[in-house]
A and B are shown apart, each in its own frame.
Chain A
Amino acid sequence: MNMMLFGPELYFLGMALVLFFLSLQRRVRVEQTYYVALWLSVGGVVLAGWCLFQEGELFFKAYKVDLFSQIFKAALAVGLFLVLMISRNLAHVEERCHPEFYLFLTTCTLGMMMLVSSVELLTIYVSLELSSYSLYILVPLRRGDDIDTEAGIKYLFIGAVSSGFMLFGLSYIFGATHTTYLAEIMPKMGQLIQNPIGVVGLLLALAGFFFKVSVFPFHFWAPDVYQGAANQVTTFIATASKAAAVAMLLRFAALGASFGYSFAEALVVLSIASMTLGNLVAIIQKDFKRMLAYSSIAHAGYILMGVLTMKEAGYISAIYYALAYLFMNFSVFLVIHEVASDGRDLKIPELAGLWYRSPLLTMTLILGIFALAGVPPSIGFTGKLLLFTSAMSSGYFWLVLIGAVNGTISLYFYLRVVYHAYFLEPGPRPKIHLSWPSRLLNYGVCGIIIGFGVFPDRIVELAKVAARLVL
């Protein structure tokens, strides 16, 4: 067995072990633990990048390493690194829990890395649960008011229910095809085309991923968890976790590629419901993270547009958008973290006067918000246009029209953020001083948002190769 095939996973397992031993210390050295975690995650990014073009199969073909999985592994490693970059000041997590905080972030990343490579139903389920359980613990780690507990319980319950749905669906698929390997299920799915058991089974099996991407009707946890969890945890859920779930959604939905009409129609309905509901409810939100939660529901709807085409172009654009979403969402959370440096929940009006308090953060915020709203030149615009293009090429005219109208609606609440940050006077709020790593991070994120928005070709070509591997 080539160790490099399993390299990133082994590395993060090792990292988890290191953090585990750190957590056993009687006295927690906050600074030291943080830097250990951060530098280890840098190593993870390097290694995941190094392994980008690995190919092979492991564990009796239950585990497939290909460009598709490696892209997402790299994205996950980057996601973890970005989240750790803003975790220096974990104001709302008790000091004695810091090593655990890093530990569970790592195990969650590990679980999702395994998830994107799994091509066997049970492996998928086990990996999914590994990442979910870590998050179940991370969400209520926040100290303070009761909202954390509420969020934690909600997340656990809805997570458990959707896992239940998923297992039920998987049992249908297994029952109908007598195998747990995706590669063997794929050719048999064609026969299930007349059979409702196939549609129902597949849709239920997707429930687990719908939960993760917060697609309607599995979205109820999102607002409370976004608001209730510590800002860093929310960032992780909103960025890395989303990307991994999209990857699996793509892999699984490919099973329905030969399925044709009814399966795609079901996804169309979910897509429309998600984006419309997300955008409409986001309008009335006052808490910034809650608003982003609804915006993430809407974005799940957009991503579904690419998934439901079941064609190469759709998959390319969904992959592109998932990666783009990671960065643009992170840029907004970066601003939240810096403005609410004491770890509180940020109300949108608290952004007032940001242009005076920190011009750099304002730039990041505006770019991030515009990218989410799909305004050029940003990865968000390019990604959304590619999604629309692929959906239109597959003949979904109405879906694109509704998507475009939704884009207009969403602009309203995104512009409200710009309005507060850029127009209102700061009042007594002091200037925000950024450390130099934070400044670099800001420049980097802005550069990525614009750079890959204007020059998407490299990513599209990579995504193209990856998409061919799954379909």
Chain B
Amino acid sequence: MTEHLASFPVLSCMLLAPPLGLFVLLFLKEEQQFLIRVVSLVAAGISFALSIYTFAAYDQKLGGLQFVEKYEWVKTFGITYFVGVEGMNAPLLLLTGIVIFTGVLTMWELQDRVKEYFIFQLALVTGVFGVFMSYDMFFFFLFYEIAVVPMYILILIWGSTRKIYAAMKLTLYLMAGSGLIIPGILLLYASSGIFTFDMVRLHAVQFAPWVQKLTFVMMYLGFGVLAGVWPFHTWSPVGHVAAPTAVSMLHAGVLMKLGSFAILRVAMYLCPQGFQYWAQLMGLLAATGIVYGVFVGLAQTDLKYVIGYSSVSHMGIVGLGLATGTVDGLNGAVFQMFAHGVMTALFFSAVGFIYDRTHTRDIHELGGFSKIMPVASAFFITAALCGAGVPGMASFWAELLVLVAAVKVFTVRGLFAIAALVIGALFALRVVQNTFFNEPNPKFIHYEDVSPFLGLPRMILIGFMIFFGIFPQVMVGLIKTSIIPFIQGL
């Protein structure tokens, strides 16, 4: 892979803006709530702006790794600070920027322990940015854990619905995944013979087949826990339901992508033979996840559970795309990570607003909610349409790419997945109807609709969703620049 050094440390700035904001927050008083929010918003905004910049400024003709920064960190153990951008992580950095920025705006009304909330949220997002840009496995894993652990506290304190249980379950599941990842990473490190954590250099090493098979399956399962791969997904609906709005957004929107991105970036990239060996299993689990997520989601009456299970099925699409190992499949998988991220963020953001007012997420209790809060409902309905894969939305193209590739490679599984998604789409419309277009519940009549300021984050999300729905080529073209060399390396 060609590496183009950065003239200005854009990525480091993107990475360091949140912790810098965090540091400033430490010296603010709990009472200065407005200042706390502004500082968090500025920190998130800087990262957001820089993520747009890298997305737009990435030179597609040049290709390869751009904005590279590389410093030796611990020479004795072969650790380097190595960050860069290529076609497959640029969309995800952008996604993280979008979700954190809108997430801070969504939590604008938070009253309880505001300072601590934003401290942990900024810590978490630092980890997410770090994972997406790191090309050194030490830092990759370091940021991965930073992204996972603050979740515990965020859910525990600002969450709802069985939060104590959910927080512990989520953390233990994800850390159990880490327990598989560490030996996997270190096995590659030790058996490479060059004792480096640098992924690009490790990629050049031909690992023995058994090492690849063993490492791949450990990393697939370990990262798969976070990616919500069936049957290791059970933490995710529970966790999403319990988490506060912005954390659900970050978590379903971005964190789960860490898992699937890591499978692509670390496991598949470094162990191509291992991937070939386990591809069938990946395809099977992914297809099962799609079908399972759709049908279990149908039975839910809590809106957040509906979204939680739809995430399982949508992440199944990502997994299916990865398992095909074809250009279209991987393109679609990365696109789907982005599209699903924006979509779920919108989902949770919309539900969060409704829940903050009504304190219920029960479909039947909400009844004809669109008559009470037309704008808030519209946000949810847009997300639902996107989730159903309506053309004109970003996820339509992503799902299309994946499913076409899947039918070619795994015909039966692909067809099952398509059937499940179609049924899922029908039922999603029914959920929308039951929640928003029945008789309105008189209890909620007096509630105000979303103000323009609070609507802003949702508008941003919808904007991105539709923009990439209308111009999918912008995204696909960019992703392709890295997927084609990637496939050749497999």
Q: Which of B149, B178, B183, B195 has the most CB of A within 10 A?
A: B183
| Contact stretch, chosen from B139-147, B198-206, B418-426 | B139-147
The complex places the Cα of A400 from the Cα of B171 at a distance, in Å, of 21
- CB of B164, distance to nearest CB on chain A (Å): 7
Is residue A211 contacting chain B, with contact meaning CB distance below 8 A? Answer: no
The reply to whether A375 and B145 contact each other, CB–CB distance below 8 Å, is yes
The reply to whether A385 and B141 contact each other, CB–CB distance below 8 Å, is yes
Taking a contact as CB atoms closer than 8 A, the residue among B74, B75, B113, B171 that contacts A411 in the complex is B171
The reply to whether B74 and A392 contact each other, CB–CB distance below 8 Å, is no
The reply to whether B156 and A412 contact each other, CB–CB distance below 8 Å, is no
Q: Which of B113, B164, B176 has the most CB of A within 10 A?
A: B176
Is residue B180 contacting chain A, with contact meaning CB distance below 8 A? Answer: yes
Instruction: Fill in one digit per residue for A57-90: 1 if any B CB lies within 8 Å of its CB, else 0.
Output: 0000000000000000000000000000000000
- CB of B111, distance to nearest CB on chain A (Å): 15
By secondary structure, the A interface counts as: helix
Specify which chain B residues have a CB less than 8 angstroms from the CB of A376 in the assembled complex. Answer: 142-143, 145-146
Specify which chain B residues have a CB less than 8 angstroms from the CB of A464 in the assembled complex. Answer: 76
Is residue B190 contacting chain A, with contact meaning CB distance below 8 A? Answer: yes
**Residues in B146-190 with C-beta less than 8 Å from chain A:** 146, 149, 152-153, 156-157, 164, 168, 171-172, 175-176, 178-180, 182-183, 186-187, 189-190
The complex places the Cα of A97 from the Cα of B419 at a distance, in Å, of 80
The reply to whether A313 and B175 contact each other, CB–CB distance below 8 Å, is no
The reply to whether B186 and A415 contact each other, CB–CB distance below 8 Å, is no
Known: A376-B145, A397-B183, A418-B152. A392 touches B138 (CB 8 A): no
Number of interface residues of B (CB under 8 A): 34
- CB of B347, distance to nearest CB on chain A (Å): 27
Is residue B116 contacting chain A, with contact meaning CB distance below 8 A? Answer: yes
The reply to whether A313 and B77 contact each other, CB–CB distance below 8 Å, is yes
Specify which chain B residues have a CB less than 8 angstroms from the CB of A313 in the assembled complex. Answer: 76-77
Known: A313-B77, A392-B189. A412 touches B149 (CB 8 A): no
Known: A392-B190, A408-B176, A411-B172. A370 touches B149 (CB 8 A): yes
**Residues in A366-391 with C-beta less than 8 Å from chain B:** 370, 375-377, 381, 385-386, 388-389
- CB of A215, distance to nearest CB on chain B (Å): 22
The complex places the Cα of A381 from the Cα of B143 at a distance, in Å, of 11
- Look across to chain B and name the residue whose beta carbon is closest to the beta carbon of A363: B26
Specify which chain A residues have a CB less than 8 angstroms from the CB of B189 in the assembled complex. Answer: 389, 392-393
- Look across to chain B and name the residue whose beta carbon is closest to the beta carbon of A376: B142
25 cross-chain CB contacts under 8 A: A355-B113, A375-B146, A375-B149, A377-B142, A377-B146, A388-B182, A388-B183, A389-B77, A400-B183, A400-B186, A404-B179, A404-B182, A405-B176, A407-B175, A407-B178, A407-B179, A407-B182, A408-B178, A408-B179, A412-B168, A415-B171, A419-B164, A419-B168, A422-B153, A457-B74
- CB of B154, distance to nearest CB on chain A (Å): 11
Specify which chain B residues have a CB less than 8 angstroms from the CB of A456 in the assembled complex. Answer: 74
By secondary structure, the B interface counts as: helix
- CB of B29, distance to nearest CB on chain A (Å): 10
Is residue B444 contacting chain A, with contact meaning CB distance below 8 A? Answer: no
Is residue B471 contacting chain A, with contact meaning CB distance below 8 A? Answer: no
- CB of A239, distance to nearest CB on chain B (Å): 24
The reply to whether B152 and A395 contact each other, CB–CB distance below 8 Å, is no
Is residue A461 contacting chain B, with contact meaning CB distance below 8 A? Answer: yes
Specify which chain B residues have a CB less than 8 angstroms from the CB of A415 in the assembled complex. Answer: 152, 168, 171
Q: A388-B182, A460-B74 are in contact. List 7 more A-B contacts (CB 8 A).
A: A355-B113, A381-B145, A388-B186, A401-B183, A404-B180, A404-B182, A423-B156
The reply to whether B187 and A392 contact each other, CB–CB distance below 8 Å, is yes
Specify which chain A residues have a CB less than 8 angstroms from the CB of B142 in the assembled complex. Answer: 376-377, 381
- Look across to chain A and name the residue whose beta carbon is closest to the beta carbon of B75: A457
The complex places the Cα of A260 from the Cα of B141 at a distance, in Å, of 32
Specify which chain B residues have a CB less than 8 angstroms from the CB of A423 in the assembled complex. Answer: 156-157, 164
Specify which chain B residues have a CB less than 8 angstroms from the CB of A419 in the assembled complex. Answer: 156, 164, 168
Specify which chain A residues have a CB less than 8 angstroms from the CB of B138 in the assembled complex. Answer: 385
Instruction: Fill in one digit per residue for B54-87: 1 if any A CB lies within 8 Å of its CB, else 0.
Output: 0000000000000000000111110000000000
Q: Which of A395, A401, A461 has the most CB of B within 10 A?
A: A401
Is residue A352 contacting chain B, with contact meaning CB distance below 8 A? Answer: no
The reply to whether A385 and B182 contact each other, CB–CB distance below 8 Å, is yes
The complex places the Cα of A393 from the Cα of B178 at a distance, in Å, of 19
Taking a contact as CB atoms closer than 8 A, the residue among B76, B141, B176, B180 that contacts A316 in the complex is B76
The 4 lowest CB-CB distance pairs between A and B, nearest first, are: A392-B186, A404-B179, A376-B142, A392-B190
The complex places the Cα of A355 from the Cα of B190 at a distance, in Å, of 42
Known: A392-B190, A404-B178. A412 touches B195 (CB 8 A): no
- CB of A55, distance to nearest CB on chain B (Å): 22
